Structure 1
Amino acid sequence: MGLTIRNVSKKYANGVQALNNVTLDIPPGMYGLLGPNGAGKSTLMRTLATLQEPDGGQIFLGDIDVVSQKEAVRQTLGYLPQEFGVYPKASAEELLDYFAVLKGITNRALRKATTEALLKQTNLWDKRKQKLGGFSGGMKQRFGVAVALLGNPRLLIVDEPTAGLDPAERVRFLNLLSELGENSVVILSTHIVEDVSELCTNMAIINRGQILLEAQPLEAVASLNGRIWRTLTDKSNLPALQQEHQIISAKLLSGRTLVHVYSLDMPGNGFEPVEPDLQDVYFSALTGCFGPASAQPIVERIAL
C-alpha cells in the first residue's frame, strides 16, 4: 500500500505559496523528502497527517482518501512532528501507556505488552522509569518514535528528526528508523542530505513548494557521473567563476574555497572530475540542473 499525491497546493493567508501542485508516488519503505528550511516540507507533512487542509489536489493512502477520510487515516497514522512536548514529570513507561489508551488499546495486558515491546525497540527499556524531563534530545526523539509506532501504523511520518542531535544520538536514531520501513510507508522529511543517503531507497527534493526531483538516490547520483568538477580557489575568485560556470556549491577547506561545478564537459584549466554524491544531486537540483530552477546558486547561501 503506497501513498499517492496529486497536484496538492497550499497557500497561507500571508500570501506564501507553501505547496505548488505537488505530485508524488511514495511506495512502502523509507522515503526521503529533502529540502532547505522553508521549502514546504513541514506543510506537506502536516497535510498528510490530516492537521491542515490543502487548497486543492488529491491524496490517497491505498484506497483511503486522506482529505475526506481523516479519521480512517488517523487510525493507521504515526506522526513524529519536528517539535513535540512531553510531560517532564512523567516516566517514559507511564506516558507511553497513557498514549496507548488514547490510541484505543484499552486491554491492560495488551497495552503492557505493547509498551514494553516499543520501549525495547527504541532502546529505552532501561530508562522506562526515568522522568522524561531528564531525557536527552535523542532519547526524547526515540520516545517520540515509540509513540508514533503505537497501533502498527501503515503510514509513519517523521519531520526533521535528527536536527539538533549529537552524532552518537543521530546514529542511534537512524539505526532505529532503518528498521521501520519494511511493512509501512515511512516518510523522512529533512534538510540533512546524509539522513536520506543513509536510509532511503526513494526520495524527492522540494524547494519553494515545488518538487524539483523525484528519484532513487543511487540512480540520481549515477546520472551525474562525468558532470561534476571541482577546483580549489581563493574566495576572491568566486564572482568570476560564477560568471563563467554553473557553480552548485562552495565551502571552505583549509582556508581556501572548494568549488563544485556542474558541466557536461571539462570546465577549463584548474578543474578536475569528482565522483558525485547525493549532496551534489541536492545542490544541482536547487540550482536548476534537475527540473525547474527555483533557487539562487547555493554558493550564495554557503557561509563563506
Structure 2
Amino acid sequence: MGNHPFGLTIRNVSKRYANGVQALNNISLDIPPGMYGLLGPNGAGKSTLMRTLATLQEPDEGQLFLGDLDVVNQKEAVRQTLGYLPQEFGVYPKASAEELLDYFAVLKGITNRTLRRATTEALLKQTNLWDKRKQKLGGYSGGMRQRFGVAVALLGNPRLLIVDEPTAGLDPAERVRFLNLLSELGENSVVILSTHIVEDVAELCTNMAIINKGQILLEAQPLAAVAALKGRIWRKLTDKNALPALEREHQVISAKLLSGRTMVRVYSPERPGNGFEPVEPDLEDAYFSTMTGCFGQTSQQQKAEGIVL
C-alpha cells in the first residue's frame, strides 16, 4: 500500500499513560482511502489511536501522516480536514439540528451564509434528518443523534473521518440505517470505523486490522482473512460440562449457547474427529482465531502465500 497521497501512514507509534498502561505498543499501519475497520475488544487501544489521529493527544514516539500532512506537527492543518465522531459526544438538547449544525459550520470556517445554508441542508438530507431539522436534539433517538454526529463530522468535506464505536446501543433498524450512511462516505476519504462489533466490519470495510493490548495482531482484507480459514473451522454441538475437556484437546475459538446446549467452533487444519463437522468460516472466526493466537501462527506463512495483505 505504501504512502498513498490521500491515505494514512502510521509508523512505530507508542503511547503509555501516566498510570503505567501501555495503550499502544509500536503500531504501524497503512490505511488507504475507503472504509477501514479497526476491530478489537474494549481496552485494546482503539480509542487511544483514534484520539491520537484526531490530534487530541500526542504519541510518546512514532509518526503519523495523512497524505503529506504530519499529524503531530501540523495539527491545525490536519484539523481543517478532519471529521471525528467520538464514542460519547454531547449535544445541546434545547437546540434544533438545523441551528446546531449551522453553529458548527461557522466554527469550521464556513462564513458565507448562503454556502452555509446549502451545506447544512445537503448534510441533513444526506443523514436523513431533513424532516426532523426543527426538532430539538433532546428528543432525538440514539440513532438520530449518531447520524447528527456524522453530519457534524462531515462539515468541510474531511479527508479523514474517524468514527469510534458508532453502533453500540443502536437498535437493529437504526444500526442498518447508520451503516448504510457510512458506506456512502468512503469514496474519496479515509473512513476509520473503530468497533468491537465484528458484523460492522464484515458489512462495511474493504480493509481492516485487529488490535489487542495495544498491538496489531492482523492486517487483512476481511474477505481474504475469511478465505484463509477455509477448511480449518469445525463445529460441534455439545454439553456445557464437556467444554473444559474440549478446550484442553482442541483450539476452541468460540462457544455459544444454542437452545440449551453449547455450539463449539474450533480451529484445526485437519478434521478434529469425534462429531465435528466442517463449517464455512466467517469474519467472527477470523477475529476469534486471531485473538486466541491460532491465526497468528500461520499469518507469516499466509503473507508469504499472498493471502493476507
Band of TM-score, shorter chain: over 0.9
Instruction: Tell me the alpha carbon deviations over residues 63-97 of structure 1, each in whole angstroms, 9 at most, x when there is no partner.
Output: 00101110110000000000000000000000000
Q: Which residue of 1 aligns with 2:302?
A: none
2:264 is aligned with 1:259: yes
Q: Which residue of 1 aligns with 2:26?
A: 21
Q: Any residues of structure 2 matched to 1:236-255 within 5 Å, and which?
A: 236-255=241-260
1:292 Cα shift? 7.1
Q: Any residues of structure 2 matched to 1:152-191 within 5 Å, and which?
A: 152-191=157-196
1:212 Cα shift? 0.5
SS of 1:180's partner is coil
The residue type paired with residue 38 of structure 1 is G
Q: Which residue of 2 aligns with 1:298?
A: none
Q: Which residue of 1 aligns with 2:304?
A: none
Instruction: Tell me the alpha carbon deviations over residues 220-251 of structure 1, each in whole angstroms, 9 at most, x when there is no partner.
Output: 00000000011000010011011100001001
**Residue number among 89, 96, 101 corresponding to 2:94 in the alignment:** 89
2:73 is aligned with 1:68: yes
- Gaps (5+ residues) in structure 1? 294-304
Q: In structure 2, what is the Cα distance between the partners aligned to 1:93 and 1:129?
A: 6
Q: In structure 1, what is the Cα distance between the partners aligned to 2:286 and 2:133?
A: 41
**Residue number among 120, 127, 151 corresponding to 1:122 in the alignment:** 127
Q: Which residue of 2 aligns with 1:132?
A: 137
* TM-score, normalised via structure 2 length: 0.94
SS of 1:74's partner is helix
SS of 2:294's partner is coil
Residue 77 of structure 1 contacts residue 153 of structure 1 at CA under 8 Å; is this kept in 2?
A: yes
**Runs in 1 of length 4+ with deviation above 4 angstroms?**
none
**Residue number among 95, 109, 130 corresponding to 1:104 in the alignment:** 109
Q: Which residue of 2 aligns with 1:3?
A: 8
1:291 Cα shift? 2.6
Q: In structure 2, what is the Cα distance between the partners aligned to 1:103 and 1:209?
A: 32
Q: Which residue of 2 aligns with 1:231?
A: 236
Instruction: Tell me the alpha carbon deviations over residues 157-188 of structure 1, each in whole angstroms, 9 at most, x when there is no partner.
Output: 00000000000100000000000000100000
Q: In structure 2, what is the Cα distance between the partners aligned to 1:241 and 1:289?
A: 16
2:43 is aligned with 1:41: no
Q: In structure 2, what is the Cα distance between the partners aligned to 1:289 and 1:245?
A: 11
SS of 2:111's partner is coil
Residue 212 of structure 1 contacts residue 292 of structure 1 at CA under 8 Å; is this kept in 2?
A: no
Q: In structure 1, what is the Cα distance between the partners aligned to 2:43 and 2:24?
A: 11
- Gaps (5+ residues) in structure 2? 1-5, 299-309
* TM-score, normalised via structure 1 length: 0.95
SS of 1:291's partner is helix
Identity %: 88
Q: Which residue of 2 aligns with 1:302?
A: none
